[in-house]
Amino acid sequence: VLDGKTGISLHEKNPHLKHLPASTTKLMTALVALEKCSPQDVIIVNRVEKEGSQMGLAAGDKLTVESLLYGLLLPSGNDAAFALSQNCATTEDEFIAKMNDKAKELEMNETHFVNPAGFDDDLQYSTAADLAKLARVATGNPLIAKIVKTKSTVVTDGTGLKTYYLENVDKLLGIVDGIEGVKSGETDGALEILLTKTTRNGNSIIISLLGSKDRFQETQKLIEWAFANHTWSN
């Protein structure tokens, strides 16, 4: 649990234990994509990744980077992750290298990426402390911050004929006071993960919860505990 403004830890348990990051990886994918592409750039989808969660892309679809970011961060589309990584760098390998460069820049020293979606891999790992840093930086980007707190939306392709209905995986949005979303993740290896930002009375906290079996309930308890037990001197 981090203070959103200062990045100071308010509570931690095994913050440096290496863990599979699952789809929280996509926050890094979004940051790197926005360094290499403009939100209004149009991408033509070539190869479609069919494994896991999808936004519903097909080969030949034309979408803006911004639309793909909604597909990446709301339903956690693996297809959107690979479309961005293949188009916002010369090669996918170069994009992944940029993800690792960005991790170093952010001093996420216990993190390494080998794919842009968060598929389980022995060489893809992070920690609760590093992912809390990532969530804090990602929500500092106005476009990402706007997207991750969107409960649901509809985007269209470049022709306006194909529609994608996108629902945010985060069940706490609109239910818990002050929740501003961030990113969930879940794989067999990672179990359940939830990164959240919550703001009340002008004070923000970032929670990075990994290896959970009930991420929404556990995060909700941590949020209420943090605001009940910490006072901010503004």
Q: Other CB atoms closer than 10 Å to residue 130's CB: what's the count?
A: 24
- pLDDT band for position 21 (cuts 50, 70, 90): very high
Token pair, residue 38, equals 């403009």
- 218: tokens are 């556990």
3-state helix, strand, coil in the chain (%, to 5): 35, 20, 45
- What are 191's two structure tokens? 């179990």
Chain segment 102-118, per-residue pLDDT in tens:
999 999 999 999 999 99
For 10, 69, 108, 233, the CA distances from 28, given in Å and listed in that order, are 24, 12, 11, 32
135 or 159, higher pLDDT: 135
pLDDT of residue 64: 97
- Average pLDDT on 204-231 reads 96
Q: Where are the alpha helices (DSSP H) in 74-175?
A: 78-87, 92-105, 128-138, 142-148
Ranges of beta strands (E only) in the chain are 2-3, 42-44, 62-64, 152-156, 163-167, 179-187, 191-200, 203-212
Residue (of 118, 113, 132) closest to 222 by Cα position: 132
What is the per-residue pLDDT for 47? Answer: 86
What is the longest distance spanned by two Cα atoms in the chain? 53
Measured distance between the N- and C-terminal CA atoms of the chain, rounded to whole angstroms: 19
Residue 129: pLDDT over 80: yes
User: What average pLDDT score do residues 135-162 get?
Assistant: 95
Per-residue pLDDT of 149-170, as tens digits, reads 999 999 999 888 899 999 999 9
Closest by CA to 195, choosing from 166, 226, 172, 228, is: 172
Q: pLDDT-based confidence at 234, cuts 50/70/90?
A: low
Q: How confident is the model at residue 232 (pLDDT cuts 50, 70, 90)?
A: confident
* pLDDT tens digits along 180-190: 999 999 999 99
- Is-above-0.75 flag for pTM? yes
Query: pLDDT tens-digit profile of 24-59?
Result: 999 999 999 999 999 999 999 998 989 999 999 999
